[in-house]
Chains A and B, each alone.
Chain A
């Protein structure tokens, strides 16, 4: 398919483990966003890339969260020493650059459960 893909779809981690979540954006999309969606809430912004440059990481909740997009395509969100409050769905979205309006296309998300 031509949509945004994420892997794994589900991840169970023991508290203290490190996890890595992958996002494959739509081909040719230069912008990539990560959001965190807690149960029963709307998504909350984590970080944003334009190509390989991380332009905004103001939403990352702690220094345990790290994201990269080294070649301007695939992105990885890494969470170190996971805590129970990290349990959430992690959504990735990509978009083309536009002067004004641009639609963000979302992936199916990775549901992370920290025990």
Chain B
């Protein structure tokens, strides 16, 4: 079974609109971390936001927020007021357990922002 599922291969959104990128995860660990990364066409992986499994509040970083629904094992990324520069691949990822460990990535969602 896939650990991270991103069901939207591609999305088209009008500039300045809000967009939600879906992510569900599968783990039996009680302690885990959830990440979102952005990968522009240049190829680098850019960290956007992190949510710990014990964090009671949804994480926010500027225009990015993570809609964490633990019971549903859902960790959707919300981008408010989208910009043309937001066009990129977006990866949801998970680290199981605590401390330092590998990150498991989903297959990604390609987001296109339309002018």
Contact = CB atoms under 8 A, between A and B. Distances in A.
Contacts of B37: 106
Interface in B64-96: 91, 93
B107 interface: yes
B99 A100 contact: yes
Contact of B99 (A40, A98, A103): A98
A102 B45 contact: no
Contacts of A102: 99-100
Contacts of A99: 98-99
A48 B91 contact: no
Contacts of B104: 45
Given A42-B107, A48-B101, A97-B100, 19 more contacts: A31-B100, A35-B105, A41-B107, A41-B108, A42-B4, A42-B91, A42-B93, A42-B106, A43-B45, A43-B91, A44-B105, A45-B103, A91-B45, A95-B100, A100-B52, A101-B33, A104-B47, A106-B37, A108-B43
Interface of B: 4, 33, 37, 42-47, 50, 52, 91, 93, 98-108
Interface of A: 31, 33, 35, 40-45, 48, 50, 56, 59, 89, 91, 93, 95, 97-109, 111
Given A105-B47, A106-B45, A43 B105 contact: yes
Contacts of A107: 44
